[in-house]
Each structure stands twice: as structure tokens, then as C-alpha cells.
A and B are shown apart, each in its own frame.
Chain A
Amino acid sequence: MKRTFDTEEKIIVENNRISKDGVEWVINPYDEYAIEEGIKLREEFGGEVTVACIGPSEAEKELRTALAMGADKAILVEVDEDELQGDEHTTAQLLASLLKDRPFDIILAGNVSVDNGAGQVAPRVAELLDIPQVTTITHLTVDADQNKATVERDVEGDVEIVEISLPALFTAQQGLNEPRYPSLPGIMKAKKKPLESIQLGDLKLEQQDLAAKTEVVEVFLPPEKKAGRILEGELEDQVKELAHLLHSEAKVI
């Protein structure tokens, strides 16, 4: 799970970086689908759902929300993002190192984060753990006896039905489920659920394993859009004018 800006937030760039001042944080919406799916699997098959997050200590708030939804345990690998200067490679290294000695049947993640939007970390982790994956899934059926799963995945609007052996990693696409809201008893219980905090030094990684492979040179906003033209007159005439403008001025039809 990653914590991200609420999607309603405006983006402000200050000193060549995105300002985090006064921002509302949420669980990355795609990760919310992943958490919900994990809880549904536990409700069907038993077992345990652990939510793992790489982030600052403040991410405890979003982890508690995941626990209030119904996850059993949480792990926060506490990092100072300014100090770490990492990229997707760095995050994947941290997660793979965290997960490789822990037992799991299924890893669920969002297919993309709504902030960085690269969609790299989960498949990178699957590769580092040497397990198969299906990305952008919209339906998951687990056959526990056969130790396999059948999934539907969204492929640019078409649906692929894929069978996969477990353990495996899946990334959630919108439509997978409807994430539940934490209930009041859920919120009360979440306060007592285990939340393990891990420091960088606790993971068996060298500095060179974490060094970013890419760097951001500049962060900038899109050019301000000029106000457009609201057409006027009789509706028929407006439509005629629009078609004409699209053809001869904008040259898009």
C-alpha cells in the first residue's frame, strides 16, 4: 500500500518539487481495491491479511485505515523520502527484501499509484521474488485445493481470462470490487491491531542496492490553458460553427 494525495488535490510546484503542505492523504485508490480483495479472500478461505507500506511515519494513519477495513496486521518500512532519494527500483528492492522471508500465498497491489503513475513497483517485486503475476485484474477466483487462481484482466478494454499457479502477485484494476468503508467497531479494533515498524537498517540491504537508477531533473506544471470560446446563437448554428471550427481552425476532423 502507498499513501497518496487525495485525487481532489491541486498540485503546487515549489522549488522544483511538489508541495506537500496541507495536503489530504489517502490510501492510493488502486491499493484500496487490493486491500479489499485481500480481506474478501480471508473471509472466504481464512488466513491472514498483512498490509505493507514503504513511507514516512505519518503513513501509520493510512495503515490504521486499512486495519479498520479489516486487515489483520500492518508493516511500515519507515523511510525519509528526502534522504533516500529513491526511485521505483529502490521501493521494489525494499519491498522484496521485506517479503522474501515472510510466508505468503498471494500478493495484491494496486496496478498503479495515482501520484507517480509508473506502475512499476508490483511487477518489479514479482520479478525479484521470482513469482508469476497477472496485472490489472478485475476478477479473482482462487482454487485453494489446486493451488491456482483464475482471473479476469482488463487489457485495454478487452477481457483476458488467465489461469495462474500460486503463489502469485496480482495488481488491481478498477472494477475488481467495491472497497468497504471502515466501520466504527472496525476503527476501534484497528487501534489494537499489530503495526510493526521497520527501519531501513533492519532490512538486509546495502546502500548500493537502494541507489536510484533514474533521477528527476525537473518537476513542472502544464501550461495554463487559455479560456476557450463559448459559442452563441441558435443551437443549429452553433453546431454548424463548431463543425467548421474543428475542421478549418483546429484541423482535427
Chain B
Amino acid sequence: MYSNVLVLAEVKHGHVRNVTFETIAAARTISADGQITAALFGTDMNGYAEELIYHGADRVVLVPDAALNQYTTDGYRQALLQLIDERQPDAVLLGHTAQGRDLSPRIAARLNSGLISDVIEVKMSEGKPEFIRPIYSGKAFSRKRAKDGDGPLVVTVRPNNIPVLARDVSRQVDVQEIPVEIKDLRTVVREVIQKTSEGVDLSEARVIVAGGRGVKSADGFKPLQELADVLGGAVGASRGACDAGYCDYSLQIGQTGKVVTPDLYIACGISGAIQHLAGMSNSKVIVAINKDPEAEIFKVADYGIVGDLFEVVPLLIDEIKQMVH
């Protein structure tokens, strides 16, 4: 049981990321009545602190330093280490996001701490916090515990797995600012090129429409994108589609590539190689659309349609549009 937990919040596209609320929920499970402090790095953080409190944080610390407006390993590392020194938390939780993955091992190494990464479930067992995380990209799971470390335990929480706490606007808002000293940054971010459409990131998407070799070309992804847009989701791909050059490797889902757990996964023209299944078979609901009735993907699908994706997907788009109206 932890009495003082620090959560590093993330803001993206003008919103607190959902994974931050999920991380606060995880913090609540391992701290019971302990204090949860959420940290917001960067200037212009007005309005976000309240949301963090409404979602379960007891207090928010702002670190309003312009050097933190863009994530850099060095900048965030220095700020977070100073904050940890100041607040002396016994656990530090981050999202298992690009930022959390880059930062958490450095913090843990500096503090001589244990780090449990990519956690999908948190529970108390005989008074001790336990953390479940996928191994072999979800082909198996391991249940882990902290041993007595020198520093606080560090944990990263995978998006889309832990339910957020009910939003409660009656919670007392407690915000304070903590200045930090940031110097000697060894990296400079020159440019950020936005490639993700509609700002829906694969790892956080509630709905994913994924294409495989059956999509046949880069153009073949257009109806998939349209279906994803109608459902407010993101497009993904199998290794086959990426290797064939139909889409960017950043879309690849599988044991090499991204591991995803959306509410709805629609696999179009994907045969279902074991290394792809590892990346998506823990999705809550799986739909498979494939011409080949013997395709492995049907073995993990909740619903299957044996047919040509270029016929099925447009029909499905129309059907869903009608439902929405």
C-alpha cells in the first residue's frame, strides 16, 4: 500500500489524455486513502488541473516552465526528479505512452528503483499491490510485485485498460506551483510532423479498423479510413500490408509493431498470423472480414463475415451512418 503517489499527467491536442485518468484510477487502487498528486508540466495548463482533481487526484502541482512545453528526455527527467525529491512519493505512475516509455526507465535507473511497465490491471492481494502486464505481446501475462527498492516504485499504465473513476465535480480543487531548474538540454526537437489523422492514436483508439494483404494497395485503405472515421476510430495494419508498402510501419499491429486493446477491432483482409494475433487478440470485440473462410483470424473473432472487404466495408459504412442518424 502506498500513501503518497505521484502521477505525471499528459495533455495532448488540448485535452488531458484519457490514459492519465486511467493512471489516476490505478493510483487510487494502490493507495486507498493515501494522497494522489498529479503533476502538469509546461505553461498554459489552465483548466486541466480541475479535470485531474475531478477524476480522482487529491492535488495538482503545476511546473510552469516553458522548457517543458515540448517533451524532451532531459527536460522532463530533470523536472520529474526534482519533483520527486520535493514530494517524496512512494510510487510514481505514468502512462505507458511515447513519453512515459521514454522517461520512466531513466527515472527508475536514477532512483535505483524498480519499474513495472505496461500495466493493464492493478489489484491488491493480501494488502500488497500487484500489477498485471502482458508478455510476448499478449500471448501471456505476468503478475508482478515490487521488492524493497531504494527509491519509489515506478509504474507505467497501458492506455485503454483500467476504468477511469467517475468524474466528481464536487471535489475540492487544490493546485500549487512548484518551480524547477532545467538546464543543459542535450537534445533539441526541431520539428514535429503530424501524420496521424484526426488525432486518433492507435494505442488509445476505442475502435480500430485494420487492413492486411487483402487490401491490395495503398488506395485500398481508403474505405477502411472512411469506416474508421465514421466510428471515430483509427486505422491499423498487419505486417503483410506494411511489408507490401500499402501503408506506413507506424500503423503496424502485432508482436513487432503495436499491441492494441480497443473496444472494437475490425480486421479486413487479414489472415491472422500468430504474430498479428499477439498484437490484437485481447481487444474486447473482434470482427473479421475475409474472403477465406479458413483464415485463422476467424478463430479469435467474435463476429465474422466471409466476403470481399471491398463489398462489405462500404455496406457497413452505410449501415452505421444510418444507425447514427
Partner of B141, one of A126, A154, A222, A246: A222
Chain B CB within 8 A of A205 CB? no
Chain B CB within 8 A of A128 CB? yes
| Closest CB in chain A relative to B257 CB, distance in Å | 6
Q: Contact at B192–A160, with CB atoms within 8 Å?
A: yes
Given A163-B187, A246-B303, A253-B323, verify A120-B263 contact (CB < 8 Å): no
Task: Report Cα–Cα, A218/B132, bound state, in Å.
Answer: 9
- Hey, which chain A residues are within 8 Å of B110, CB to CB? 127
Chain A CB within 8 A of B179 CB? no
Q: Contact at A217–B143, with CB atoms within 8 Å?
A: yes
Report the number of A-B residue pairs with Cβ-Cβ less than 8 Å: 269
Chain B CB within 8 A of A13 CB? yes
Q: Contact at B312–A235, with CB atoms within 8 Å?
A: yes
Chain A CB within 8 A of B271 CB? no
Q: Contact at A225–B189, with CB atoms within 8 Å?
A: no
A218-253: CB near B (< 8 Å → 1, else 0) gives: 111110010111110001101110110111001011
Q: Contact at B207–A252, with CB atoms within 8 Å?
A: yes
Partner of B287, one of A8, A11, A150, A246: A246
| Closest CB in chain B relative to A167 CB, distance in Å | 10
Chain B CB within 8 A of A144 CB? no
B106-123: CB near A (< 8 Å → 1, else 0) gives: 101110111111100000
| B-side interface residues, number (CB < 8 Å) | 96
Q: Which residue of A lies closest to B320 (CB)?
A: A243
Q: Contact at A228–B144, with CB atoms within 8 Å?
A: no
| Closest CB in chain A relative to B151 CB, distance in Å | 9
Q: Contact at B114–A214, with CB atoms within 8 Å?
A: yes
| Closest CB in chain B relative to A118 CB, distance in Å | 4
| Closest CB in chain B relative to A195 CB, distance in Å | 27
Partner of A242, one of B140, B147, B287: B287
Segment touching A, from B56-64, B163-171, B275-283: B275-283
Chain B CB within 8 A of A188 CB? no
Q: Contact at A89–B108, with CB atoms within 8 Å?
A: yes
Q: Contact at B315–A239, with CB atoms within 8 Å?
A: yes
Task: Report Cα–Cα, A136/B264, bound state, in Å.
Answer: 27
Segment touching B, from A43-51, A61-69, A109-117: A109-117
Q: Which residue of B lies closest to A209 (CB)?
A: B112
Task: Report Cα–Cα, A39/B298, bound state, in Å.
Answer: 41
- Hey, which chain B residues are within 8 Å of A240, CB to CB? 319
Q: Which residue of B lies closest to A8 (CB)?
A: B274
Given A163-B190, A164-B187, verify A235-B108 contact (CB < 8 Å): no
Q: Contact at A5–B136, with CB atoms within 8 Å?
A: yes
Can you list 25 pairs linking A and B with CB atoms under 8 Å apart? A5-B136, A7-B275, A8-B275, A18-B140, A87-B114, A88-B117, A114-B255, A123-B109, A125-B109, A133-B73, A135-B73, A135-B102, A158-B192, A158-B194, A159-B195, A160-B193, A161-B191, A175-B250, A214-B114, A217-B130, A219-B142, A220-B142, A230-B293, A242-B305, A252-B206
Given contacts A118-B115, A219-B140, 6 further A-B contacts (CB under 8 A): A157-B201, A214-B115, A221-B140, A225-B281, A243-B320, A246-B285
Ranked 9 nearest A-B pairs via Cβ: A213-B114, A132-B186, A123-B105, A175-B249, A127-B109, A124-B109, A118-B117, A157-B196, A214-B114
